[in-house]
Each structure stands twice: as C-alpha cells, then as structure tokens.
C-alpha cells in the first residue's frame, strides 16, 4: 500500500462550514492548506427543496463570507433578511400573561438584524469557492494519532499516511478528535432538550420578523423567516416532548403551534416533501481553545444553547480572529507560533465566555416555572422593551459590533 506525507502551512481537520471558511481564508492569504475529512466530499447538493437546518447569520459572519467572495456565491433568492424580532414569555394554555420585547432594524439604525441561510446553500457556496482556491489539498482518511515537534503538528492516518503542518486547526465539531488528542478538558452539561427543526408555509406574510416564545414546560419555540411566505421552526423541546414531535405528523405539529402564531402568520402548512430532524442540545466549555501547534474553532471550541442562534456566528468569529492573528504575525514567526496562538486565545476569551454565560443563563431562567422567577423575567422583558438605548446595545452585541 502506498502511503503519502502531506506538508502544509495549515491543516484543517473537519469539513463543516466553519472549517471550509478557514481553509479559504488561509488559502487566500497565500498559505498552503490541507483539509482532512473522514469521508470524500459529497457532490454539491441541488437546491430544489428547503433545508430544515438553517442559520441566523450576523454581520460578522456576513462580512467574513463577503471578504472570502462567498456571500455573493450564495443563492441569494433563498436567503431571508431578518428585519425584526419578537420575544414573548408565554403560556397560552395557562392563561397567564407574559413579558415581551421587540427588536427591529429600523430602531437600531441598520438595514437588517441578520440573514437566515440554509445549511445546504451555505456549504454549496463554500464548496464552489474551494474548487477554485489555490494551494488547497483535500485528504480523505481516518486520523489515528497526533504528535507535536518543535515546528509542526503531525497527524498520522490509519493507512499510514501523515499530515504535517505548522498549525493544525480543529474544526471537527462538538466531539472533536483534535481536542481529545490535545488532552483539553471540557465542562459538559446536557440541557435535556433536543432541537426539533422543520419548515412550513404560512398563510400570512411574515414580513421578515423572527418570532420566539419561551413556554415553561414546552421549551423555546422559534419561527424564523424564509423567503416568500415560509418559516423555519426551531423548537428547543424537552427530550420526552421532542420524541413526540418527531413521531407525529407535521399537520399535528402545526396545530400545536397555532395558539402562538395563528394571529400573526395564519395557518401553517408543512412544506413538501415533509422533513423533520432533531439534535441534542448541550453546553460544552473546553478549558482552552489552543494547544501547542493547535487552534480550535467552531463547535470544537464551544457549544452553546441555540436560543440566541449564535453557534455558527461564534465559529465564523473564531475564523475571523484566527485569520487576523495569523496574517498579522511578525515575519519571524510561523503561523503556529505559540505567541500567535496566545493572541487568538485572548482575543476570543471574552466574547465566547459572555455568549456561553448569556445563553446558559437565559436557558435556565426561562426554563423555570417558579412564579417569583416568572414575575421577575416578565418585568425584565417589559422594562427592556421600554429602553431603546439598551436594546440598541444588545442588538449591536448580537451582530458582533
């Protein structure tokens, strides 16, 4: 059997959207890049139906993708702008009134709060850009072990091949192999919930408004705008309820949603072909996002509750900062130099910690059915709704500004 040794400046482990964006950025900076994935890249999908997995991308993500010449490669007719967001603490079945807060782009003096992009649309654009990228080598193989020398990180494959790079970037998800090889510990907690996702058409126009309801025992329900009169459901449901939701018909699911959204959106109708998925929700805090010759990005570096829709945005912010630190390094340092990595660690520490603390705190706060807690959060939402300056600051933070 013939084995190969691949040498590069940067080795990206993982083939998700965050890893692909990093590979493009390093390639466009003139570095040699290798991408290691366990399976051969699948053909780019045909965008003939609506993907149930979507992302609410903020301005940091938009700016990164635009700088990589990827944003305009998206099928923009399948991208929906979010012009406003409404958040309600609600339990329509109990008859209790809840607090609410609304954010809108006009009040924040911007054109849009975010963009809703399908996973397939995003990856198709990234794959297309990578086909034309210079100095990018795709390697298919199963990683076996990782070692470090003074100047390189070295990955040995099951087939005996090796990948050697000045910088190894772990972009291999929540169960990161790279993170494990570096003995980076984690703090882990399951939320006891699953994110249930599917798509509907709506009788009334959504007008670019993202809607979210915090519903005590039912979890967090979000309906995000898609192009046309379509919406994407993201329901963070307790495990037992999530099992019920994925087993019942989508028409029955639409009936569950009607008490919350019928006034604004009218009747919901499942999109054809019908599709529904669910994924576990968890909090993962790695004790570091770097090791010798290694940087972690995306879910390998942090996993947060999706209630704020910022998991992908944090990953793209990782890429933005890592590219800046590597490209701005002193001439005598290579891209995996420890000082460069320390700068990346410091630059990401505050934002990531703040987002983890905020999403975890909100998940706990709105998951409580204690009446005193409910009273305080309702007062807080209603008060926030009357403070436009504070709302603008929150919007700016959410956009990454």
Q: In the CATH scheme, what architecture does the domain 82-115+190-280+375-398 have?
A: 2-Layer Sandwich (3.30)
* Per-residue pLDDT, 240: 96
Delimiting residues of CATH 3.50.50.60 domain(s) in the chain: 5-47+122-187+283-362
Which residue did the predictor score with more confidence, 203 or 308?
Answer: 203
Question: Measured between alpha carbons, how far apart are the two ends of the chain, in Å?
Answer: 52
* Residue range 215-242: mean pLDDT, rounded: 94
* Per-residue pLDDT, 87: 84
Of 43-47, 240-244, 297-301, 364-368, the poorest mean pLDDT is in 364-368
Of 32-41, 255-264, 294-303, 326-335, the poorest mean pLDDT is in 32-41
* Residue range 26-45: mean pLDDT, rounded: 87
Q: Under CATH, to which class is 5-47+122-187+283-362 assigned?
A: alpha beta
* Per-residue pLDDT, 190: 93
Of 48, 51, 16, nearest to 233 by C-alpha is 51
Of 209, 211, 226, 199, nearest to 80 by C-alpha is 226
Mean pLDDT of the chain: 87
* Per-residue pLDDT, 392: 52
Residue 6 above 70 pLDDT?
yes
* Per-residue pLDDT, 44: 65
Contact residues for 244 (Cβ-Cβ < 8 A; gap 6+):
none
CA 59-62-63 angle, 5° bins:
85
Angstrom CA distances, 43 to 34, 107, 365, 384, stand at 19, 43, 43, 47
* Per-residue pLDDT, 204: 97
Of 19, 61, 60, 22, nearest to 327 by C-alpha is 22
* Per-residue pLDDT, 357: 80
Angstrom CA distances, 101 to 263, 342, 387, stand at 17, 39, 10
**pLDDT tens, 366-396?**
554 544 445 444 444 444 444 454 445 554 5
Q: What SS3 state is found at 43?
A: coil
Q: How far apart are CA 14 and CA 178, in angstroms?
A: 10
* Per-residue pLDDT, 207: 95
Output Rg (C-alpha) for the chain, integer angstroms.
22
The Cβ of residue 371 has, within 10 Å, a number of other Cβ atoms equal to 9
* Per-residue pLDDT, 128: 94
* Per-residue pLDDT, 1: 40
Delimiting residues of CATH 3.30.9.10 domain(s) in the chain: 82-115+190-280+375-398
């Amino acid at each position: 059997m013939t084995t190969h040794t691949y040498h590069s400046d940067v080795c990206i482990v993982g083939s998700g959207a965050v890893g692909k964006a990093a590979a493009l950025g390093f390639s466009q900076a003139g570095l040699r890049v290798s991408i290691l994935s366990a399976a051969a890249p699948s053909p780019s999908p045909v965008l003939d139906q609506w993907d149930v997995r979507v992302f609410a991308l903020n301005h940091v993500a938009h700016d990164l993708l635009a700088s990589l010449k990827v944003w305009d490669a998206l099928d923009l007719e399948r991208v929906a702008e979010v012009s406003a967001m409404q958040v309600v603490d609600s339990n329509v079945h109990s008859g209790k009134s809840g607090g609410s807060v609304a954010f809108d782009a006009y009040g924040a003096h911007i054109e849009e709060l975010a963009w809703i992009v399908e996973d397939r649309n995003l990856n198709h654009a990234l794959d297309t850009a990578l086909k034309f990228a210079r100095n990018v080598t795709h390697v298919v193989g199963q990683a076996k072990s990782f070692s470090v020398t003074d100047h390189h990180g070295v990955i040995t494959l099951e087939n005996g091949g090796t990948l050697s790079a000045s910088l190894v970037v772990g972009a291999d998800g929540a169960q990161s192999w790279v993170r494990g090889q570096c003995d980076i510990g984690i703090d882990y907690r399951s939320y006891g919930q699953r994110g249930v996702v599917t798509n509907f058409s709506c009788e009334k126009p959504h007008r670019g408004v993202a809607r979210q309801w915090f519903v005590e025992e039912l979890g967090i329900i979000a309906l995000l705008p898609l192009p046309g009169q379509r919406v994407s459901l993201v329901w963070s449901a307790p495990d037992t309820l999530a099992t019920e939701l994925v087993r019942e018909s989508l028409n029955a699911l639409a009936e569950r949603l009607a008490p919350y959204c019928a006034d604004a959106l009218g009747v919901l109708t499942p999109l054809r072909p019908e599709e529904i998925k669910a994924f576990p929700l968890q909090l993962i805090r790695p004790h570091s996002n770097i090791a010798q010759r290694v940087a972690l990005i995306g879910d390998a570096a942090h996993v947060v509750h999706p209630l704020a829709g910022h998991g992908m945005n944090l990953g793209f912010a990782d890429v933005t900062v890592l590219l800046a630190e590597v490209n701005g390094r002193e001439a005598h340092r290579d891209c995996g130099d420890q000082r460069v990595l320390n700068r990346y660690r410091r630059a990401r520490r505050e934002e990531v910690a703040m987002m983890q603390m905020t999403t975890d705190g909100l998940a706990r706060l709105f998951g409580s059915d204690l009446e005193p807690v409910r009273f305080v959060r309702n007062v807080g939402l209603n008060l926030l709704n009357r403070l436009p300056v504070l709302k603008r600051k929150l919007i700016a933070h959410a956009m990454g500004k």
